[in-house]
């Protein structure tokens, strides 16, 4: 049974940094893709950053240059380093994993993932 557990969320002032972690169990890294999504109140869940099995990364335009996704295969952990945070980054952040074939164009789409964590809240104040 796959389990994804996020941590590292919190409250920070604009311009600050946070690092989110996603500990995975029952899921083998390097066999599919993993990603971070976020959902703000009243908005749809959106893909933020993704990494596929060869290690290629993809970012939403809104976070390019500020967020970095990385994975530690030995620790079965996915990370999201978030720098220069803005109030509009405030959201619940979710870790996702997918082990079914999907086109590269689905890397930042929910349909590309079949396992989800419970989320960790990030709040950025101005």
pLDDT digits (tens, 9 = 90+) for 76-95: 999 999 999 999 999 999 99
Q: How far apart are the first and last CA of the chain?
A: 40
pLDDT in tens, 12-63: 999 999 999 999 999 987 788 999 999 999 999 999 999 998 889 999 999 9
Q: Is the pLDDT of residue 68 over 80?
A: yes
Q: What is the mean pLDDT of residues 57-71?
A: 97
User: Tokens for 14?
Assistant: 């604009």
The whole-number pLDDT of residue 11 equals 98
The whole-number pLDDT of residue 40 equals 97
The whole-number pLDDT of residue 85 equals 98
Cβ atoms of 51 and 35 within 8 Å: the answer is yes
Q: What is the mean pLDDT of residues 110-121?
A: 97
Mean pLDDT value across the chain: 95
CB-based contacts of 122, cutoff 8 Å, min separation 6:
9, 10, 12, 18, 20, 38, 82, 85, 89, 90, 91, 92, 93
Bigger pLDDT: 103 vs 63: 63
The whole-number pLDDT of residue 22 equals 98
The whole-number pLDDT of residue 58 equals 96
CB-based contacts of 101, cutoff 8 Å, min separation 6:
none
């Amino acid at each position: 049974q796959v389990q994804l557990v996020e941590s590292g969320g919190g409250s920070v002032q604009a311009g600050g940094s946070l690092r989110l972690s996603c500990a995975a169990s029952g899921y083998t890294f390097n066999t599919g893709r993993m990603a971070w999504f976020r959902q703000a109140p009243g908005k749809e869940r959106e893909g933020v950053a993704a990494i596929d099995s060869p290690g290629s990364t993809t970012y939403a335009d809104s976070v390019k240059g500020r967020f970095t996704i990385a994975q530690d295969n030995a620790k079965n952990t996915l990370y999201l380093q978030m720098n220069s945070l803005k109030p509009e980054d405030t959201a619940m952040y979710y870790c996702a994993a997918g082990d079914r074939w999907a086109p590269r164009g689905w890397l930042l789409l929910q349909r590309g993932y079949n396992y989800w964590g419970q989320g960790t809240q990030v709040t950025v104040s101005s």
